[in-house]
Chains A and B, each alone.
Chain A
Amino acid sequence: MRKLNFSGAAVSLSVLTTVMGQCILSGEAVSARTLLLQGLPMALALAVISRLLALAEVEQGTFSGNTFCSKLFCLLATLWFGAELVETLGQIQTLCWEQFSSMALVGILPLLLWAGWTLEPGVFSRSAGILWWAVVLAAAICFFSLSGQLHWENLFPEPEMTGPMQLPIYAEFFALPLFFETDGQKSQRHWVLPFAAFLVQALFAFGREAVFGPAHGLQGLELLRAGSIGGIARFDAAFLLVWLAAALFRCGMLVCTLRVLLCRAFGCGEQEVPE
């Protein structure tokens, strides 16, 4: 039976990419203070739930596909991951159309789905490390390009309370044993993933508020556009390209995951291909 054996870097990159996508595309800004006061406890609670579920799933073999319940869980997970795939593709298409006036994603979609379907999980894990370097470099350049525009004073005028915030929840938080099937310890170590997702959200919100001030109503993408270094006054396109690579990577991973889940849900006997 084919096993998913992603690395921690691959799974975390996948989740944080879609979090970043939501931050970039979001128009309504949640104030940093609200995010800290409400989001932090929610993230911690999610992390604890993730850990407990990981332990239970490892023990029960929830995603093994051997029992009827397991097959049912696999089917439900298929639906959830499928929805995430559609959401990520939607994010990519929105950005490509708005920023590059390009429908190329639709054109390469069959290739993308085919690649995700045929590639082994190990390929994604090996690529994740390199993509992480690109993401970290892009984030560092983005941060330095904003230096001089981050004003702590903008954090102070307290905006009006807009009601409870919603923390996005991803299927990866509750399916860690599925991703780390050959290493149960790893699934227990990665229970902090919800917290990492919250951290990215919080940093982005803080950045937006520090640059634009509270209650500005500007899209998250404007934060990337605000930076400048030397003669090049606009780096958002470069950062978006890095995000795009990570998002396509995430789509490939999700398709790979869907393949395994579908096989287990419907009982296809797929052999693991040796190297």
Chain B
Amino acid sequence: MQLSEHLETNLTALNARLGSSADFYAKRIELYRCRGAIFLFDGMASLESLWELLLDAASRQTPPLLSGQAAPGGERVYQLLWEHSALPAESAPVEDWESLMQRLTAGMAVLLLDGCAKGIAFSVQSLKYRSVEEPSGEGNIRGSREGFCDLLRVNLSLLRRLIRTEALVMEVRQGDCEMKTEYAVCYCKGKASPAAVERVKETLRRARPQMLLDSSYFVPWLFPCRVRTASPVGYTERPAVAAAKLCEGKILILVNGSPSAMILPTLFCENFECLDDYAQPAFFASFLRVLKYGAFYLSIFLPGVFVCLAVYLPELMPPQLLFKIEAAERATPLPLFAEMVVVILLLEVIREAGLRMPQTLGHSVSLVAAIIIGDAAIATGLMSTPVILIAAVASIAVFVVPSLYEAATIFRLLVLLAAGIAGPVGFVTAALAVLLALTRVSALGVPYCAPLPFPKTGISQDGVTRRTYRTLSARPFTIWQKRRKAP
């Protein structure tokens, strides 16, 4: 709906919509002898900046009114202010209510003049936001310590600082949700596939999330499926990582209010890389990757393998270990399989509690939980040491690859249930199901389990092991480069 030419009409409408909000600020003013009003949200826009940059400047430059001369109308004042180069005005006028609300909620101040159906928005934002800090979820030894903050514009500026070419494109849109949250689609022209970019933009435009608090809320629209075990997207809170992914031709989605940037499409093997992977010697980096792969598969399969071997295939275990497990199971009320399920679920509860509880209580509760699980349960004969050890190792191992935590937890339970109920056949079926679930995933035509880089070679240059960065730089990688015709 268009704005009215009459200031009073606009004022009345605004007061009706926002008058009851404590932070809504509306002030009648006179600029160049024309009546107008300033609207802003207190705490988001800086009144001091507005006064200094606009009101004071305009007041001092108001020409004297000669006798008989009529006061300039709203349109005339609008033109004066619009063409005044010293004022921090937005490039597009405010012409309708939607645009007005968008600017106000972005922290701008909007000036409406009597006799003019357009308003001017001024960039006098003074938003309070969390500073650029090191993200807690992505640790690294070398490399940048900066992390995204919650404000979209600041995050975009962090990216712009790193990619100092005209190739970087960052398109900002408003999500079609109740909160009208802004989001940005970032990509590098010439590297990202134009078709993929258009497809992503169109999908996001059509998405109707009820709320948009994080980029991950878009995933059900980007990759619709009934059951999702693994998503071919990655997340990062580090601008350096995001910039690196953009240079590989990937698409980045940032949402206002969340420091987490979504990267798509992502490959499975990229979950085992980190920011300082390429800052370390190739040999050591390869060793760490092998360790990570081992830890990930250990986390998924260890409890299931343990139950399967102990119960159904004891010949694959050293006899010394086997009889200790048997002795333990005889002393506890639950069978091995059920005990393992209980311990794993208990560890998940402890982990979740540790994540959500106030930090002041965190240490105490962790200590109590460890004592209860580790000592008291064994002493009372409710649980056995081999089971607790295996479950603890599996639960810890997954944190080597935190980005795959959700998938690993679900897979672990699935494999354990299958191994416990259906024995070796169930274990193999579950393992095959995990494999098929991962290989089934693809995003924008890029299979999730594709090797890196393309085309497929006998041993990938940058896969489980990697070659020196100089060798890798000789053939820069983009996610869209042609690969050998493989499914």
Contact = CB atoms under 8 A, between A and B. Distances in A.
Q: Touching in the complex, A and B, CB below 8 A?
A: yes
A238 B313 CA distance: 9
Contact of A123 (B422, B424, B436, B485): B436
B439 A126 contact: yes
A231 interface: yes
Given A127-B436, A231-B318, A245-B431, A102 B313 contact: no
B217 interface: no
A232 B318 contact: yes
Given A6-B487, A232-B318, A104 B436 contact: no
Given A127-B435, A275-B444, A105 B428 contact: no
B449 A104 contact: no
B424 A244 contact: yes
A262 to B, nearest CB: 21
Instruction: Among A100, A111, A252, find the residue whose CB has the most chain B CB atoms closer than 10 A.
Output: A100
A9 B270 CA distance: 24
A134 to B, nearest CB: 9
Interface residues of B, number: 31
B429 interface: yes
Contacts of A119: 436, 440
Contact of B313 (A115, A121, A237): A237
A94 interface: no
A265 B433 CA distance: 30
B426 interface: yes
Nearest to A105: B425
A233 interface: yes
B486 interface: yes
B200 to A, nearest CB: 14
A222 interface: no
Interface in A107-148: 107-108, 111-112, 115, 119-123, 125-127, 130-131
Contacts of B443: 275
B79 to A, nearest CB: 52
A274 B316 CA distance: 44
Contacts of A96: 424-425
Contacts of B487: 5-7, 121-122, 125-126
Given A121-B487, A126-B447, A233-B315, A241 B423 contact: no
Nearest to A240: B424
B432 interface: yes
Chain A interface bracket (under 10, 10 to 19, 20 to 34, 35 or more): 35 or more
B439 A127 contact: yes
Interface string A68-100: 000000000000000000000000000010001
A191 interface: no
B442 interface: yes
B426 A104 contact: yes
B427 interface: yes
A151 to B, nearest CB: 25
B290 to A, nearest CB: 14
Interface in B255-312: 312
Contacts of B449: 126, 130
Nearest to B431: A245
A275 B450 CA distance: 14
Contacts of B424: 96, 100, 102, 237, 240-241, 244
A28 interface: no
A181 to B, nearest CB: 12
B439 A237 contact: no
B445 interface: yes
A234 B315 contact: yes
B445 A104 contact: no
A183 B487 CA distance: 11
B425 A237 contact: no
A248 interface: yes
A220 B226 CA distance: 44
Interface in A224-275: 231-235, 237-238, 240-241, 244-245, 248-249, 252, 274-275
Nearest to B442: A275
Contact of B425 (A104, A182, A238): A104
B293 to A, nearest CB: 12
A29 B315 CA distance: 27
B428 A122 contact: no
Given A6-B487, A126-B449, A241 B427 contact: yes
Contact of A234 (B316, B425, B447, B485): B316
Interface string B447-487: 10110000000000000000000000000000000000111
A6 B432 CA distance: 18
Contacts of A102: 422-425
Nearest to A234: B315
Contacts of A122: 442, 447, 487
A112 B425 CA distance: 12
Interface in A1-21: 5-7
Contact of A120 (B313, B316, B422, B440): B440
B432 A245 contact: yes
Nearest to A242: B428
Contacts of B436: 115, 119, 123, 127, 252
B318 to A, nearest CB: 5
Contacts of B425: 96, 100, 102, 104-105, 108, 244
A12 to B, nearest CB: 15
Interface in B222-253: none
B362 to A, nearest CB: 40
Contacts of A234: 315-316
Contacts of B432: 127, 245, 248-249
A236 B204 CA distance: 53
A129 to B, nearest CB: 9
Interface string A204-235: 00000000000000000000000000011111
Contacts of A126: 439, 447, 449-450, 487
Given A108-B422, A238-B313, 9 more contacts: A104-B426, A123-B439, A126-B447, A237-B316, A245-B432, A248-B432, A249-B432, A275-B443, A275-B445
10 contacts: A5-B487, A96-B425, A102-B423, A104-B422, A108-B429, A111-B429, A125-B486, A127-B432, A232-B317, A235-B316
Instruction: Rank and list the top 3 A-B pairs by shortest CB-CB distance, nearest first.
Output: A122-B487, A104-B425, A126-B439
